Amino acid sequence: MPSVQGGLAGFIQFIREQGVVGLAVGFILGGAVSKVVTALVNDIVNPILGYALGSTEGIKAMKLGPILLGDFVAVFIDFMIIAAVVYFVVRGLGLDRVDAKKS
């Protein structure tokens, strides 16, 4: 039966080889970045779009017979805006080249 210390060393080596710490840090930072992007979209992008295109409240009330489509359409538009903001920020800061494979 392996010793506890030997098992702990194997566990630590597994964590180091698999990049679990980097994954955990990325997960935590992802939550923080999500809040920043949501605030950017809600406080800056959506008001600009609302001013240019009109309120999203009309979209949320949209129906197709008994089917309520408005909320889905509004959430989908928010998703597309958030995805576009993240894409352009990542490309603009050059973060898309950070994880490039070494030759």
The pLDDT profile of the chain, 103 residues, written as one tens digit per residue, is 556 666 788 877 777 777 777 777 778 878 887 888 778 777 887 777 777 766 666 666 778 888 877 778 778 877 887 788 778 877 887 766 765 455 5
Asked whether 46 and 56 are in contact (CB, 8 A), the reply is: yes
> How much is the pLDDT for 82?
78
> How much is the pLDDT for 31?
83
Asked whether 60 and 101 are in contact (CB, 8 A), the reply is: no
Q: Does the model's pTM come out above 0.75?
A: no
Asked whether 77 and 56 are in contact (CB, 8 A), the reply is: yes
Q: What separation, in Å, do the N-terminal and C-terminal C-alpha atoms of the chain show?
A: 42
| Domain region containing 65 | 4-97
Structural domain contains residue 102? no
The CATH number assigned to the domain holding 55 equals 1.10.1200
> How much is the pLDDT for 53?
65
Count of structural domains within the chain = 1
